[in-house]
Structure 1
Amino acid sequence: MNLIIKDIKVLILKKNIKNIYLSILPPDGKVRVSAPKNVSEDFIKSFVFSKYKLIKKNIEKIKHQEIKTKVVL
């Protein structure tokens, strides 16, 4: 399930877990939230909204990060 909070697209994964996990994935800063199956969509929205500044800061940090790749010859 996808969700858009302000200008951030968030992928929501419902799993058999106990806590909510927020991930910002390199290289392009995709945002993923893993949540327990019994948590409502409204709660997830408020959770992401409360972390908005942190998410934006880390997306910018990831986008400006140098990508390190291994070159094997």
Structure 2
Amino acid sequence: MNDDHDFSLPDGVDLQALSAFVDGELSDAERERIAMLLDGHPQAAARVAAWRAQKAALQVLCGAPQDDAR
């Protein structure tokens, strides 16, 4: 049996939404909705914190991405 549901995530939030949240790719309303859901889900909030730390470390190591469209 293949159960892809991640029980550490709040209902209505998936890994793609969390990734978009970390990357700042959500509307203000969606970002606020996920932030409120994370307040009650420490495991998911810890995952977001770890991803943010990883993103910051990669930016220091590799430099911030640059826009090649000139």
Q: Which structure is richer in relative contact order (CA contacts within 8 A, separation 6 or more)?
A: 2
TM range (shorter): 0.3 to 0.5
> Which of the two has greater helix per residue?
2
TM-score (norm 1): 0.35
